[in-house]
Chain A
Amino acid sequence: MTEDLTDDDIKHVAWLARIKLESQEEINEYKTTFNDILRYFKKINEIDTEKVRPTFHISRSVNRFREDEIKESLKEDEIMQNVPKRKDKFIVSPRII
């Protein structure tokens, strides 16, 4: 990301996260914050990585597996503890198309 984010970028990201941005004021606020953060991280670009191989994981260890053995699941009241709306054993959410 070399350019600063535009209003449209902010609206798009808001849509992806299903956040409703009502006013230009809000968009401006997010735009300023986002761009500040991005500018801060751009410092990383100053490092010469020419001879560094891409890293996908910081740990050197590999292959931590689990055997295919059944563990107990959560109990119903534990599951529903954080559920704002339920019907019988279903979790209810707004319909999203």
Chain B
Amino acid sequence: MSRQELEQLGIKIGLEIHIQLTKLKTKLFCGCNADYRDMPPNTYVCPVCLGLPGSLPSVNKKAVEFAIMLGLALNSKISNKTLFYRKNYFYPDMPKNFQISQYNKAGGVPIALGGQMILKFKEYDKRINITRLQLEEDPGRISYDGTILSSPIAYIDYNRAGITLIEVVTEPDFETPEEARIFLQKLRSIVEHLGIADLSLEGSMRCDANISLYGKNRVEIKNISSYKDVQAALNAEIIRQKNIYKHGGEIKQETRHWDSDKKRTFTLRTKEEEQDYRYFPEPDLLPIEISSEMITSIEENMPELPDDRINRFIKEYKLPRYDAEVLVITKSLADFYEDVVKKYQKPKEVSNWIMSDLMRHLNTLNIEINDSKICADDFIELLNLIDKGTISGKLAKRILQLMMESGKKPMEIAKEKGLLRINDLKKIQEFINKVFNTQPKAVSDAKKDPKAIHFLVGQVMKLSNGRCDPQITNKLIKEALNKI
């Protein structure tokens, strides 16, 4: 749907994003190792995260500092006093039967309130207001035999229970699914620039979306696991709601799950209403007071943020704003760019290569630069080989793809696949002779009309798989024609 079509639907979307602070070594309330991925189930658990009677939680100081950093980066107001709350619910993903979270009602103050992010689009700028940021613990993981509906039992792994999450809640300011996607991408870039999490890790950034059309009932969509998913899930839900309204139906307020395989949302369970969570202040944890000195000292040590980096790219590398924005919205890509430009000082050329071929291959392979097998030094070598004329720019594109798939060096691939440029006059002449013998009509055309020579050059390039040096080929063909 176009933006105009979407505007007519009166879409309002709000997001709740859960971000795991994966750069923390331990969980939020206990010293269990937080690096749980690829670990056998239930290995990083202790009396605190298992909720055994008599155990007492204690707050990871660094988690609080990280949350303040994110709050500052999103222009939020950091609370001078903040509390933890118990959110009670009966579900096996939390062994305590409550989650320690924060609350913005009944006297509760989350760690940061307010804030905003400006999204830049070609035609317009969009301001997204942030409602709040809160610290909370991640529940454990539940898996099933087959699907949740077919499995009679649940398998529980508490390694994730107690991992630090920051929940970012936005106002319902998004009017298109694209805006929601860009927001998540930018949020991820901010988080990664702050160095508080690596959000390429599976399940490290999860999102719930509230969406309504025409100012009517809102539906909450859960289980959205990436910024790519958010756009797909919202699009699917918009179409579903639009069709129901079109046929005179009504949307009921409910929670739906996103199925990223089937590309649709579906109803799963009725959860407790909000009042049933019976929030109350966590008696086992002391309040946190955040002094202005603490905020200032964190502020002074903040790393470079995406917006500053974009401006620096424009100034330092003379890049167009568009290039700078495309690179910086993915931190790993911006890092790769700078690694290359440090040793290969043609910044615009490098950004062209990254933004076209490199990004296209990443998209096709559906991976990020850090998962691809290419390293900055090999990429630099490729660019140098083009400059030296060892390979043609066109073949370099093919070599780049093979580099990303195999991790081999460009020269190795060029030799292996016979992609080196042919500069040898004799060899080029052999190709020309073959073309002249098989295409007599084209030869006589070229004799009459000098423009037709391009066809012959093209045939030689085709025959040599694009390896003949085009300038030498051109010159030799002209000489050959003159001799006829």
Contacts and interface: CB of A to CB of B under 8 A. Distances in A.
Interface in A52-90: 54, 56-57, 59, 61-71, 73-74, 76, 79, 82, 87-90
Interface of A: 16-18, 54, 56-57, 59, 61-71, 73-74, 76, 79, 82, 87-97
Contacts of A68: 24-26, 60-63
A62 B287 contact: yes
Contact of A89 (B42, B60, B153): B42
Nearest to B164: A68
A93 B154 contact: yes
Contacts of B395: none
Contacts of A61: 286
22 contacts: A16-B90, A18-B90, A57-B281, A57-B286, A62-B286, A65-B60, A66-B31, A66-B59, A67-B62, A68-B25, A68-B60, A76-B43, A89-B41, A89-B42, A90-B41, A91-B157, A91-B158, A92-B154, A95-B148, A96-B90, A96-B91, A97-B148
B289 interface: yes
Contacts of B83: 56-57
A17 B283 CA distance: 21
A91 B155 contact: yes
Top 4 nearest A-B pairs (CB, nearest first) are: A71-B31, A65-B61, A90-B155, A68-B62
B449 to A, nearest CB: 76
Contacts of B92: 93, 96
Contacts of B143: 90
A95 B154 contact: yes
Contacts, number: 121
Counting contact residues on chain B (CB < 8 A from A), the size range is 35 or more
Given A17-B90, A66-B59, A92-B156, A79 B25 contact: no
Nearest to B144: A95
Interface in B28-47: 30-33, 40-47
B154 A73 contact: no
Given A89-B41, A93-B92, A71 B153 contact: no
B54 interface: no
Interface stretch (B186-194, B226-234, B268-276): B268-276
Contacts of B152: 94-95
A16 B64 CA distance: 32
B50 interface: yes
Contacts of A54: 107
Interface string B60-103: 11111000000000000000010100000011100000000000
Contacts of A87: 155
B406 interface: no
A68 B164 CA distance: 12
A18 B276 CA distance: 13
Given A92-B155, A96-B154, A63 B62 contact: no
Interface centre among B41, B42, B43, B47 (most CB of A within 10 A): B42
B119 interface: no
B286 A59 contact: yes
A96 B154 CA distance: 8
Interface of chain A, helix or strand or loop or mixed? loop
A57 B289 CA distance: 13
B439 interface: no
Contacts of B107: 54, 56
A42 to B, nearest CB: 18
A92 B140 CA distance: 13
B58 interface: yes
A68 B47 CA distance: 18
B153 A94 contact: yes
Nearest to A75: B43
Nearest to B270: A97
Contact of B59 (A56, A64, A73, A96): A64
Given A68-B24, A71-B32, A91 B156 contact: yes
Given A68-B26, A70-B33, A91-B158, 16 more contacts: A54-B107, A56-B281, A57-B286, A62-B287, A63-B286, A71-B31, A73-B33, A73-B43, A74-B50, A76-B43, A90-B143, A91-B42, A92-B154, A93-B156, A94-B153, A97-B148
A90 B157 contact: yes
A64 B60 CA distance: 9
A65 B156 contact: no
A62 B25 contact: no
A56 B287 contact: yes
B151 interface: yes
B303 to A, nearest CB: 18
Given A57-B83, A68-B26, A89 B43 contact: yes
Contacts of B45: 73-74, 79
Contacts of A17: 90
A90 B156 contact: yes
A93 B60 contact: no
B365 interface: no
Contact of B287 (A57, A93, A96, A97): A57
